[in-house]
Every structure is written in structure tokens, then in C-alpha cells.
Amino acid sequence: MVNSTALEEPTDGNSSVPKKSACERSNLSLVSNEEKVVGEFLWSKNTQGGVLSAFFWGYMSSQILAGYLASRYGGRLVIGVTVLGGALITLLSPLAANLNVYTFIGLRAILGFFQGSTFPAMHHLWSVWAPPLERSLLTGISYAGAQIGNVLVMPISGLLCKYGFAGGWPSIFYILGAFGLLWCILWFCFVADSPQKHRSISEKERNYIVGSLRESGGKDTDHEQHREVPWGSILTSLPVWACFVGHFAGDWGAYMMATSLPSFMNDVLGFDLTSMGFITSIPYLVYFFFINLGGFVADKLQGAKVLSTLNTRRLAMLTALGFQALFLVLIGYCKCGQETLVIVLLTLSVGISGLQYAGFVVNYLDIAPTFAGPILGIGNTLSCCAGILAPLLMGWMTPTGSKEEWRLVFYVTAAILVFGAVFFSIFASGEVQQWAMAKSNLLQVVDEPLLSDSKQLKSEKENIGDA
């Protein structure tokens, strides 16, 4: 969307020196200057950072509200309505961009508001659909679907910028908006709020899901009535804050790479837009693989009682965030001529971070299945600060796009990742918190000692009578 001259604007306003990539690309056959895509907007790097961060201002404003509405009215309605709104906003985006950048920024914020509802509402759905020993895999599969979007959209967007209709880049918004509308039709036709409400699920599967959730202290969807969210207990719970801190660290790494990966490849590696589309999709393909692998392995370790629930979550977080931090630091020390190594390290860094979905993401369901939606909404709201700060920090720290500047960006990101993994490992829990238990389970916990005393008294009376 942006004219290349915007990237060559002087930082001091006195002289104009075209910015070059840190490495010469003579060893690669890229497209010629005549074939390169030239955007129409003269947006400075700071303006581009504002455009990228605008989405997250709206995104974080709907998180808690979406989790609350999903717990009260069902995740099916919340997700369906917000995706429909997001699709319509996407279709209007080219018009807004052509009006002026501030209109476009405002529309991006509104789009974030709609899309911010997705994950809290999804977590609420899994709280009534996912059996405890299948949570990691099922949750991972659903979240991994977002990476399929990255894998497909990045290369397709690069091609549409060059060959698409309506001037190139607008076709991206039109095509994705149309697919969003189609998705909404399928969603409302096939999705139900709970196993009890699904028209085609078998009775055996329905009983298995409901029974396993009841035994674990989670939602009893047959008898559970709406409960008010215990905000005080949530905000003073250390296991909840362990999820929040791990969530923030993981999202900082994800947002930093999602928003800065194309800029890094242009600044340091010198890839053109079309090449970047295909190359930047590779890490998310590996990311998709690791999300599903992590969920599968986590459930197997729990099911075989090799590791407890808590230790499974710890292992996932330490592996995901620790190795991501290591690979990012190594990238900063790669030299010119090692572009292939840089791409491999970027791919591993982004990819292995997918294991975090078997960590803090599922842990929300472990410790508070009844209120998973609202709690995840709070966590996503806090982590949205990463989405706002990461691109702004990237723009501020890389004014010339040098490798030394990017090295510092990676060091800051690595420090945040390591802190998040360690904090989570120390304070996390693998058990349902008492304030989060379903009412039926709380009554059972209270009644069991009384029932035991009653049986003992009855037995003693019978013994006296026999004597």
C-alpha cells in the first residue's frame, strides 16, 4: 500500500538518503525495479507503525466484554456476529484508506474491536465441549487454524498486490471480506453452544463430554445456571496471573514477529514484496505444526500419567518461549551471506513458539473452566499492550533498519520471553480453583463429608441394636 519513497524519508528532515538493505542481494535473482510493486500512499514509518498498532487498540477493548457475553449468551452468537461485522469492515477498508490515513486507522481499530471477541468466546465454547484429557489437542487445533490463514494469506497477498484487481492491494480486502461472509453462513449452520444443543452429535459422545467435565470439576452443562463472574477472586489469584504473564510474553513474541518480520526481511535481507509473501509464510506453517504437535504430546503425557497437568504446562512454556528467545538472539549475530541460516532460525523461532498453546492457553481451562471466557478476555486485554507497543517499539528502535538495531530488538524480545516462561513455571497451577468450580461440584465437595458422617452414625446405631 505504501510508496517506497516513504521508506526513504530522512529521519532529520534535512537530507534524503535512500535506505539500502544491510546485505547486497547480488546472489539472488529478485524482480527488477520495473517489476516491483509501488504503493500509492506516502506513509512514513511512524505512520505505518500507527496503522499496525491501531488494530490492537480496538482488539483489547472488546476482550473482557466478549468473554462475559459468551458466558451469558453463548459463544456461537458472539463469534458469529463479530466475524460478520469484521468481514463488512474489511470490505470497507480500501475506501477508508483512499479517504485518508486517519479514517483507515479508525476502521482498523473498529475491526480489532470485532475480532477481539473471537478467542474469549472460543475459550468459552471449549469449556463446555473439550474433555479434560483432550483439551490441549482440541484447543491447539482450533488456534492453529489462524496459522493456516497466515500461511495462505501472506503469499496470496503478495501476488494480489502485483496482479490483483481494483489496483492490486484493495483486492486483498475484498477477497478476505467475501470469505468472511461465507464463513459466517457455515458457522451458523453447523455450530451449537453446547453438546446438549447440537442436532447431530451422538448420545454416546454427548454423555462422554458432559460426564468427563462434571468429574473434573468443570461445567455441568445439564444443571449449571448462569453465575456471576467472581472478579475479585480472579484478580487476586496467583495461578491466574501466571497465565496473564505467560500470555503477555508469548503474545509479545508473536506480535513482534508478525508485524516486524516483513520489515526485518526488507531492511536486512533485502527481499522484495512478492518474495516476502512466500518466505514469511514458511514460519507460520511450522508454527501450525508445532501447535498441533504440542497439543497431541501434552495430552499423551497427561493421559499416560508421565507428567502432571502442571508439569506438562511448565514444559510447554519453557520449551516454547526459551527456544524462541535463543533463536532470536542468534539471528542478530548472523552475517551477510548467511541469509539461509537467518530464514531457518526465524522459522524455528516462530515455529517452536507454537508449543505455548499447550501451556498458558489450555491452562485457563485447567484452573477455571467455568469462567475461561472472561478470564481469557482479561489476559488478552493485557497482552494487547504487546500488540500496541511491539510495532511502535520496532519503528522507534530501527530508524535506519541496521542489523545492530534489529539485534537490540531481538534482545528485548528474548528478555520478555524468558521472564514470562519463568514466572509462569513458578506460580501456575494445574487444578481447578475452588472459586471456579461449578455449583454442582461445590455442593458435592461440601456434602461428601456430611454424607460420610451420616453413614458412620447409621452404622454405629445398627451395631448397638445388634448388640
Tell whether the model's pLDDT for residue 450 goes beyond 50.
no
Q: What percent of the chain has pLDDT over 90?
A: 31
The residue range of the domain holding 245 is: 45-192+230-431
Distance between CA 157 and CA 138 in Å, rounded?
29
- Alpha-carbon separation of residue 245 from 32, 71, 240, 288, 333 (angstroms): 46, 23, 9, 23, 28
Looking at residue 60, what is its pLDDT? Answer: 79
pTM: 0.73
Tell whether the model's pLDDT for residue 192 goes beyond 70.
yes
Q: How confident is the model at residue 332 (pLDDT cuts 50, 70, 90)?
A: confident
Distance between CA 299 and CA 194 in Å, rounded?
22
Inside any domain, residue 319 = yes
Nearest to 243 by CA among 335, 189, 313: 313
Q: How many domains does the chain have?
A: 1
Inside any domain, residue 440 = no
pLDDT tens figures, 59-94: 878 888 888 898 888 889 999 999 999 999 999 999
Tell whether the model's pLDDT for residue 464 goes beyond 50.
no
- What is the domain-level CATH number for residue 262? 1.20.1250.20
Between helices 403-427 and 309-331, what is the axis angle to 10°? 170
* H or E stretch at 93: helix 75-99
CB contact set of 396 (below 8 Å; sequence gap of 6+):
49
Other beta carbons within 10 Å of 177: 18
Distance between CA 76 and CA 194 in Å, rounded?
9
Average pLDDT value for residue range 153-162: 82
Nearest to 128 by CA among 65, 181, 66, 192: 192
- Please give the angle made by the CA atoms of 101, 103 and 105, to the nearest 5 degrees: 70
Tell whether the model's pLDDT for residue 21 goes beyond 80.
no
Inside any domain, residue 5 = no
Inside any domain, residue 313 = yes
Distance between CA 334 and CA 315 in Å, rounded?
29
Query: Are the C-beta atoms of residues 51 and 43 closer than 8 Å to each other?
Result: yes
pLDDT tens figures, 31-45: 455 555 667 788 877
Average pLDDT value for residue range 455-463: 47
Inside any domain, residue 464 = no
Tell whether the model's pLDDT for residue 447 goes beyond 50.
no
Nearest to 120 by CA among 68, 192, 182, 194: 68
Inside any domain, residue 216 = no
Inside any domain, residue 456 = no
Choice between 336 and 149, residue whose per-residue pLDDT is larger: 149
Inside any domain, residue 31 = no
